[in-house]
Structures are given as structure tokens and as C-alpha cells.
Chain A
Amino acid sequence: MRLEDRIRNELHDTAERLALDPGEYRRAIETARRRRQRRIIKALSGMIVVAGLVVIVLALRPGSEVVVSPSTTTPTTPTTPTTAAPGPTTTALPVVTVGAAVVTAGPRGISWTVLGTDGATGVLESDPYYEAISWVESDGEGGLVFTHEVSPLPWDQGTLLWLPAGAVAPQPVAAPPPQGLIMPIGVSNGRVYYRLDSQGTSTVIGVDLDGQNQEIVLPATSELIAASLSGSVLAVVRGIDCAEIDLFATDGQQMPDGFPDCYPASINDLALSGDSLYVLEDGADGRVLRHLTTSGQDLGASPVDGWQIEVLDSETVAVGGTTIAVGAFGGDSFVPQTEIEGSSTFALVPELRVDPAASLGSGLGEIPCTPLDLPALASQGLPEAVEAKRQQIFELASGCEMGRLAELVLEDNAAFTFGGEEDPVRTWIASARYGFDVLAMSTRILNSDPAPDGAGVYSWPAVHATNSEEDWQALSGILSAAEFEQYYQFRESGYLGLRLGIDPDGRLVYLIAGD
């Protein structure tokens, strides 16, 4: 049996055994509505949720609450932490109500959402073309330390970056080795601490923000579950069968603690804040957030539905500081994401002083598009409107006027992608990263002869409309030998490279590649 058939059979047989409880579509709708309502209400009321030495549970799922452990709970020893403390208290988080701002660094760029004293909001956006941020934290000096979900060129995937105060472009701090993964832990005293996962082990490393003086804080181990930094203290939990919580100074020296050698519950995550340690553990009745002290006192637990915890220092926010939030996948960047979901993270930025024009990643300036000094196009004797549009597109493309060309594409409602992307620039940037420069190629095909396609649209190159051998051979003067060969081998399906179509009225109908 062919391997493909063997796999197909196995996949289908296995899938048949996978039954999912009947879903109720209204649940998804209601959840979506609740999330939206919560965002709107919070945005309009001008409230920023901050934490006063509390733990915010990220990625809350529907119906869950943000919960803090009451500090007044009678301390107990963590002998039975798998059971939530009776009657957990849900406490409203402290808020800043006036004159504050939320900076969201989400999939659509850095956004400043200014919340006025009257609850009105204003939005500033910049650089909408950078990649989504997966983690960000203040450097304590007005700048940011962050990583991308997908690191844009020229950085390797997973590179840890630093955007210093006043800078417009970030610089690399550390990059993972091949097959390695960097997971940032925190920033303290001009150093960023991260976990490097490589070859089945995890190592905790500290490195100066300028990328110099890298030191191992915790040697490689195969059992590191989570780590958290507060000041110059690092809390880690290690061990799969028997989870052990330890405290280390950032120089690697182990510190005394009051935790049991073998923690009596599975730990998903922990967060350290001064003398408080918050532990997200799986209990018999579900997930709970437990508040401990570093001396081992149990200050109580509350049931939660999240899977990641972070601690925010409330002091700066209380005096009108700035909070930076990284939007969730597909989130709305212009709404303060006081409810953080999914792959989000956020950090306090006491004094954000990065340049408003700062790019966190793949701004247009990084796109390898160099204006081309090309001779003017010779007339092809086409209808005036068609010639005019051809000239206009040629000039925009040869001048790297990506934004203006995108406006033209959108104005003419031209097809530019077969995917769901709504922004031509994003599409072209993505193509450029893969070495396919749509703008440069446009200038080349507009120098070739067109042919009307079946709908009367003038198509460049002609082979797209005719698929004739003669027109295929004419392509060899436009494409490189490798490009030509790539397309020519699929000639039975027609020419699927970049083509451009203008209708007799001068409307750009398509500027697209692929099928």
C-alpha cells in the first residue's frame, strides 16, 4: 500500500473514533458578544484595569472572572492545595479612571488609545505592518523589550529585541540557535532573562540589553516547567512527577524558601511579585490560582479558568503611567484590551518614551524595494484610459510607492490576493519576504505586450490571456530562466505568474499571482 493511502486510511479511521460533544453554536455567539460588551463598557468608562500587586489571569475564557486571592485569608500551610479555599473572594481590580493611556501593540501596530477625563477616547496608530508581538515588557527606562510571533526579516525567528527609549528601530538582544526556542522571563536592572529551550533541555540565561555579557543563571535541565522574575529574584518550578519550587538570585545563587520539596499539585505557571508567589495549579476540581508567600504561607486560592499568570506592579500606574498591552490574535487594536485573551501578554511601561514613529518590526523601510530608474513606457496604442492607468501603475511600482499603489488597487476594487488578506501592502510585503517582489515584477510585465482576455480586459503579459507558445517564449525576455521554468512546467494550466489586467474603461481589474 502506498504511504499516502496508508496515512489517509489511518487518519480517517482515527478521526472516526474522535467524537466531540454536540456543540451549541449560540455558546460561541454569546461568548463573542460578552467579550465585545466587556471591551466596550470598559473603553467607554475610561477605565484601565491595573493590578495592585495582584495577579491578572490572562486568556480568560467565557464566563470567568478576574480573581485575586484575598490577603486577609487566614494563612495555612500548602498541604492540600488541590482544593480551593472555601468561599473564594472575587475582588474588583483597582482602576485608573482619568488622564491615562493604553498602548496596545497588537497585530495592527502600536496604538495609543488615550482615555480622557470625560471617558472619550482618541486613537493614534503607527506602523500597521509589523508582525504581531508575542511578549513585551518595559526595559524600565522608557523602552521596550519584546519578541514577535513571527520574527520579521532580517531577524531570525524568535529573536529577542530591544527598542530603547527614543529609538525608532529595535535592535537584537539574543537569537535562538537552530532548533532552539527563546521564551522571555523578564527584565531587571538592564538585563533580560530568558529561557532557552534546545535539544530537550531548558536553560535560564541573563543577558544585557545591548546583547553583551550573557550568563547562565540556571543550567540546562529537562524538567523546567515555568519561571518568573521579580526584581533580582527568580522563581522556578521544576519536575514533572514531583514539582519543586525554588528561588534563585539572578546571579544563580539558590535562596532559602518555605516551599515543600514536592509540591502536592500540578503547576501550570507561577508568577513572583516581591514576597508573593502566585501559582496556577490543577486541582481535583479544576484549575485554581493560589497565593503563597515566599516563606511558604498559603494565603488562599480561587478557582480560575486561565492558563497563564502575570504580576503587574501597580505603583506607577496609580500615578497615571502607561500600560502596554499586546493584542490577542486577531484582536481589535483600537480598543483597550483590558481583557486579554489567547496568546497575549502585557507589561507595565512606566514611562514610554519610544519615538511615536517607532517600528516594532517589519516597517515598510525594511522591505527590499528600491526605486527603479527605468525609461518611460512606450505607448502600446491602447485606449487612452488603459494607457493612462498602465503608466500610472508603472510609475507607482517603479517608485516603490506601495501605499499609493494599494490605494489604487482598493479604489478600483482590483483582485490582488486569493487569500483573505484585506490589505494589499501586507500581501506585497509578505510576498517580498519570500523573494517575490510584486512591484518590480509589475514594471517588467508592463513592458511586455498585452492581450485581451475573454472578458475584454487587457492582460499583461499576453500569455495569461492566450497561453500560446509564442507568448510563452516572449516571457523569456521578462522572466529569469528560473522563473520561466517554474511557470512553464505548469503551462497546461496557463500562466499563473503575476499578471495585471486593465479594462477598457481604465479600471485595474487584477494584479495578482497564483491560482
Chain B
Amino acid sequence: MATDTGEIPVVRMQESSFEAFYRSNRQHIFRALALTLGNRDLAAEAVDEAMTRTYQHWRTVSGFDNQAGWTYRVGLNWARSRLRKRKREVLADQVPERSTEVSFTDPDLDRAVKALPLDARAVVVLRHYLDWSTDDVARALGIRPGTVKSRLHRAMAELRQQLGMKDEA
């Protein structure tokens, strides 16, 4: 809408850098959210909401080391709030509708991962799907690196127990 106000270059530069971010990250963030939430539709809504908010705060977010991490966190928080508010979906979260459920091919692993708390699932997905470092995961989730390590450790121990595996440590 700006014409000759002098805002055009700034606006365009902002749009341009956001577009690059959007194109290269939307799919990854969606997949990470879907794997974390176990729900494809919720993840799709969450990533779109998170992208909108990312643009709203793009001046700040574009300066972050891990912009995708911030967007993932916004999406996860949004979805978490939505789950909390929509009580029916909280229940459905435990038994997701088949059409939107995200399932692994390995049923045992699928069951075990879904039994993990959401926070633990987020750490597992960011570390083992996006291959982010402990620090990147910590920044994305707004927690300390030590917390990431302990959550991951507990999650893996829980999965081993669920899967009847011996502790490899």
C-alpha cells in the first residue's frame, strides 16, 4: 500500500527475507510439529499461525540465530494452548482421529513415542528429526541445555523400557 513514503524498500526487504525463510522452512517446521503433536491437521494450522506471527515479529526474529526454532516454538505453544482449550481435542489427542493421526510404520515405536509427554516428544523430534544441537533445541523450546539433555535422557530411557530394550549406556 505504501507509495512514495520511503517505506517501500524497507517493506520489500522485509518481505523478501521473510519469503526466503518461509519457503525454506515451512515444510520442515510443519513436519516437526506433526511428528511432535501426532496430528497432521493441528500441525498444519499451527505452522500457518506461527508463520503469520513470525512475520509480525520479523524485524526481531530475523536477527535470531535459529529463526526456525522460534517459529517452531510459537507453533507448538499455539497448538498446546489449543489442545488445552479444546478439551475434546485433549481427549482426542490420546486417541487421534485416524484421518489426521501421524503414525510410524513400526507400531511398537509408534505406541511408545506417543506415550511420551509432549515436551519430551518435542525434544526427541528436534534432536533426531531436525538434528538440531542441544543448544538449538534449548533455544527453540526456551529451556536450558541441561534440561534438554535430561529430557532426552529420560525420554530415551522411557522408550527403551517401553520397547523392552536394555540400556545401551
**Interface residue ranges, A against B (CB under 8 Å):** 2-4, 6-8, 10-15, 18, 20, 23, 25, 27-29, 31-32, 35-36, 59, 61-62, 134, 181, 183, 195, 197, 202, 223-226, 240, 266-269, 307-308, 329-330, 342-343, 418-420, 422, 434, 514-515
Contact of B49 among A8, A20, A342 (CB under 8 A): A342
Structural contact, A266 and B88, CB atoms closer than 8 A: yes
Q: How far apart are the CA atoms of A7 and B130 in the complex, in Å? A: 12
Structural contact, B78 and A343, CB atoms closer than 8 A: yes
Chain B residue at minimum C-beta to C-beta distance from A200: B94
Query: Which one of B84, B86, B87 has the greatest number of beta carbons of chain A within 10 Å?
Result: B87
Structural contact, B74 and A308, CB atoms closer than 8 A: no
Confirm or deny: B57 has a beta carbon within 8 angstroms of a beta carbon on chain A: yes
Contact of A268 among B86, B103, B106 (CB under 8 A): B86
Contact of A20 among B15, B19, B30, B55 (CB under 8 A): B30
- Given the contacts A32-B56, A434-B144, A15 and B128 also touching, CB distance less than 8 Å: no
Write out the residue numbers on chain A whose beta carbons fall within 8 Å of the beta carbon of B90.
197
Write out the residue numbers on chain A whose beta carbons fall within 8 Å of the beta carbon of B111.
none
Structural contact, A25 and B23, CB atoms closer than 8 A: yes
Contact of A269 among B74, B86, B106, B113 (CB under 8 A): B86
Contact of B105 among A14, A240, A329 (CB under 8 A): A14
Confirm or deny: B8 has a beta carbon within 8 angstroms of a beta carbon on chain A: no
Write out the residue numbers on chain A whose beta carbons fall within 8 Å of the beta carbon of B91.
223, 225, 240
Interface size bracket, B side: 35 or more
Distance to closest chain B CB from A328 (angstroms): 9
Confirm or deny: B4 has a beta carbon within 8 angstroms of a beta carbon on chain A: no
Structural contact, A8 and B22, CB atoms closer than 8 A: no
Write out the residue numbers on chain A whose beta carbons fall within 8 Å of the beta carbon of B151.
none
Confirm or deny: B124 has a beta carbon within 8 angstroms of a beta carbon on chain A: yes
Q: For window 89-107 of chain B, which residues contact chain A by CB distance below 8 Å?
A: 89-91, 102-106
Q: How far apart are the CA atoms of A424 and B88 in the complex, in Å? A: 40
Structural contact, A8 and B35, CB atoms closer than 8 A: no
**Interface residue ranges, B against A (CB under 8 Å):** 15, 18-19, 22-23, 26-27, 30-32, 34-35, 40, 44, 47-49, 51-57, 60-61, 63-65, 70, 74, 77-78, 81-82, 84-91, 102-106, 109-110, 113, 124-125, 128-129, 135, 139, 142, 144-145, 156, 159-160, 163, 165, 168
- Given the contacts A14-B35, A15-B129, A23-B51, A183 and B84 also touching, CB distance less than 8 Å: yes
- Given the contacts A3-B160, A329-B81, A32 and B52 also touching, CB distance less than 8 Å: yes
Write out the residue numbers on chain B whose beta carbons fall within 8 Å of the beta carbon of A329.
53, 74, 77-78, 81
Chain B residue at minimum C-beta to C-beta distance from A179: B117
Further pairs besides A10-B105, A25-B19, A343-B78: 5, Cβ < 8 Å: A20-B27, A35-B56, A61-B49, A420-B60, A420-B64
30 A-B pairs (CB sep. < 8 Å)? A3-B159, A3-B160, A3-B163, A7-B113, A8-B129, A11-B35, A11-B125, A15-B31, A15-B34, A18-B40, A23-B51, A25-B23, A28-B18, A28-B48, A28-B51, A35-B52, A59-B82, A202-B87, A226-B87, A267-B88, A268-B88, A269-B87, A330-B56, A342-B81, A343-B77, A418-B135, A419-B139, A420-B61, A420-B139, A514-B145
